Structure 1
Amino acid sequence: MSSPPFSTSSAFENAITLEEQPIYQDVPEFNDINNEISNQLLDINNNLSNLNKNLNYLEDQITKSTDMVKKSTSGQNNSITKYQNNSLNLITKLMELFKKLSLESKKLNELNTDELNKSQLFVKEKLSVNIRRSLEEFNSLQSFFTSLEKKLNVINTNELLISDGTMNGEQQSQNQQQQLQQEQQQISIEYEPINAEELEYQRNLIEQRERDIVNISEGITELNEIFHDLSSLVTSQGEIIDNIESNIYSTLHDTRSANKHIVKADKYHRNQRRLCFWLLIICMVILLFILLVIFA
């Protein structure tokens, strides 16, 4: 007769199996934040694409007008102004979108990672990567826009210098011929205010571009600081997650090791019980044999 098998091993193995199964977590706010960030990123990327196209068109117009400083037509000026204003409006809009995105990103990073399953953690990491890429692209495009603005300022400055030189030359010629050609003097007097208007317009354009460059630089600096803080928070949380994961694997390894020891001890105890059982049978047989000899 044998004793019933010891069930500690199978029960412990079942416990390990249950432990390895992912625990379902319901985090409805994660899905809401995920949808909001995804929609905002879609809007941002569409605007980034439009900004890139506008800047390329603007660069083409600037390149065409670079060799035509003295002969810049109104059509070319209108095209440059059009793409310049469009680009500036898109940059301003993108700054506002990124600020809104930073609020949602902060909510995402403040979620308790212990309550997220593996799929949600993967989505969270993917969103962070996409946000970082979009911000890097925006920084690159605004730097491109700033360089084009500076190039336009150089062109306008050259126009100012040429216009100033033309006005000074005409003024000297006017003084020399004032007594000889009164009609030409009248034409020059009518022409001078037009040049002065153009000069003032060009100066205002240069000053406005300088202000735009400063405003964009300040806005980008602010955005970079916001997302730098968020990135530090993500890195800190990532280290915590890594530590938790390391501890989980360490605990799982120790648990499995303990399970092996328990299984080994269980086998040893079962062998010992079998040995005791057979020794008892042998002793009983010997005792029975002795009794038969004595009473025979």
Structure 2
Amino acid sequence: MSFDQLSSLESQPTTTRRQDDPQYSDDPEFQRLSKELMAKLFSLTGNISRLTNEIALLGTKRDTERVRERVHELLEESKDTFKDVGEGVKKIQSWEDVSPSQKYTQQKLAREFQNNLSEFQNVQRQALEKQRTSASAARTALDEQQSPSAEGGNPFGQQQSQEQLRLASQDEVDFQDSLIVEREAEIRNIEQGVTELNELFRDVAHIVNEQGEVLDTIANNVENTRTDTRGADLELRSAARYQRNARSKACCLLLILAVILTIIILAAVVG
């Protein structure tokens, strides 16, 4: 059986096989966990889509505090869900004594998790870039408001600047400063989330690569077995051919011996 045939066999659902055979009966706990992980991955796909739409509003005229709150909530919710799913995927990948259908489920979950996490990391980077740009612009504007430039010895200009300072509401300045501090805290939180998910991505990728090496070993063993089987078949055919030739030669020798023996007997009788 070729490796392609083995792969097609693995992709077949267990319902098409013998249900009374323990080798092909999936573990109920494995099924429950895999279905739960697939449901969470589906919800994460929706979160990524909503995040993409919300992040596109940052830095535009439609940018509001409510938009930023939704972005923050979706980022936190998705990050926690990805960490939960990642632990589940690692648990699934380390499941022992899996059937061919369970092996297919392992590969599918790992593939879906890596694809979704890669998309989410791109969204995280977009949000981080826009948050940094916004915080930097707000900090620059606040510094300019608190420290107006001097007018170069112009008394009128200095009086005007002082008047502007008096008109500026200290409460508004404090409020803007608190918003900037909050945004900077969100930036640090996003950066931390990016680091944590990068580690999780590497962990799952490492496990998948290890399993890939095992699958390559299995494929090589199957191919080697196939080659050895072909070689053994050729050797058996060659041996059978040699045996037939040997039998033919033995029959010829026996016939020659019989003729010689007959001649000797006839010569003895006649003599």
* TM band (smaller chain): 0.7 to 0.9
Of residues 242, 250, 256, the one that matches 2:216 is: 242
Taking the aligned partners of 1:172 and 1:90, their CA distance within structure 2 comes to 44
Taking the aligned partners of 1:50 and 1:222, their CA distance within structure 2 comes to 22
* 1:28 match: 26
Contact 1:27/1:115 (<8 A) preserved: no
Taking the aligned partners of 2:242 and 2:88, their CA distance within structure 1 comes to 59
Classify 1:27/1:215 alpha carbon distance in 2 versus 1 (closer, same or farther; 3 Å).
Answer: farther
Of residues 79, 83, 91, the one that matches 2:75 is: 91
Deviation at 1:278, TM superposition (A): 4.9
* 1:125 match: 107
TM-score (normalizing by structure 1): 0.68
TM-score (normalizing by structure 2): 0.74
Task: Establish whether residue 107 from structure 1 lines up as the match of residue 91 from structure 2.
Answer: yes
Deviation at 1:130, TM superposition (A): 2.4
* 1:63 match: 60
Contact 2:26/2:99 (<8 A) preserved: no
Other structure's SS at 2:60 match: helix
CA deviation string 1:64-116 (max 9, x = no partner): 3xxxxxxxxxxx6xx5111100010000000111011111211222134x744
Task: Establish whether residue 136 from structure 1 lines up as the match of residue 118 from structure 2.
Answer: yes
Deviation at 1:42, TM superposition (A): 0.7
Task: Establish whether residue 223 from structure 1 lines up as the match of residue 197 from structure 2.
Answer: yes
Of the two, which has the highest radius of gyration? 1
Deviation at 1:280, TM superposition (A): 3.5
Paired amino acid for 1:240 = V
Taking the aligned partners of 1:278 and 1:33, their CA distance within structure 2 comes to 74
Taking the aligned partners of 2:266 and 2:206, their CA distance within structure 1 comes to 89
Contact 2:26/2:102 (<8 A) preserved: no
Structure 1: gaps (5+ residues): 1-15, 65-75, 176-187
Other structure's SS at 1:28 match: coil
Of residues 253, 259, 266, the one that matches 2:227 is: 253
* 2:250 match: 276
Paired amino acid for 1:144 = Q
Give identity over the alignment, percent.
Answer: 28
CA deviation string 1:254-281 (max 9, x = no partner): 2321221122112211332243235435
Query: How many residues are matched?
Result: 244
Taking the aligned partners of 1:110 and 1:264, their CA distance within structure 2 comes to 47
Task: Establish whether residue 262 from structure 1 lines up as the match of residue 236 from structure 2.
Answer: yes
Which protein, 1 or 2, shows the higher relative CO under an 8 Å CA cutoff with sep ≥ 6?
Answer: 1
CA deviation string 1:156-208 (max 9, x = no partner): 33442454368x96784499xxxxxxxxxxxx7xx66xx22211111111111
Contact 1:36/1:104 (<8 A) preserved: no
* 1:153 match: 135
Structure 2: gaps (5+ residues): 11-16, 18-22, 149-157
